[in-house]
Amino acid sequence: MRLQSANRLILPVSRHRTTLSPPIRKLLARMARTVTAARTVRCVADTDTRGTAASDRALTRAQARVACAYLRSRGMKVSLSSSGNGHARPRASNGTARGRALNRRLTITTTY
């Protein structure tokens, strides 16, 4: 997990799974309690190139939707939106295990 800036949080996600890990759920629950002044929260998921373009888009859209739904279920009242990029926006090379792990991510951006 990495805080990129005051309004952007980058979280690792699992390959082939749309469920949130317990540490991610805990972090999102805390976020839902504390980020009350935000106008919008956007959840965007990305993945590596291990699947087809279509399956990766579907996976990342589902991952982002699950994160937004969890925030809503924990009482977050701001405008929430989600999207998935599939493997179209890599942060690192997909040629290594480390690079693929960096590309499997959920970015949560808040706007105040």
What is the per-residue pLDDT for 15?
85
Instruction: For residue range 74-96, list pLDDT tens digits in order.
Output: 999 999 999 999 999 999 999 99
Short-list 59, 47, 27, 56, CA closest to 103: 47
- In the structure encoding, which two tokens stand for residue 60, read together? 């990342």
Read off the CATH number of the domain in which 98 is found.
Answer: 3.30.1330.60
Number of domains in the chain: 1
Residues of the chain whose pLDDT is less than 70?
1-6
CA 45 to chain centre: 4
* Residue 100 structural domain: 2-111
- DSSP H stretches of helix in the chain: 22-34, 53-73, 97-103
Residue 5 has a pLDDT of: 55
pLDDT of amino acid 16: 85
Alpha-carbon distance of 92 to 109, in angstroms, equals 20
CA angle 39, 43, 45 (to 5 degrees): 165
Instruction: Report yes or no on whether pTM surpasses 0.85.
Output: yes
Q: Which residues pair with 109 in a beta bridge?
A: 8, 42
Residue 33 dihedral angles phi and psi, to the nearest 5° = -75, -35
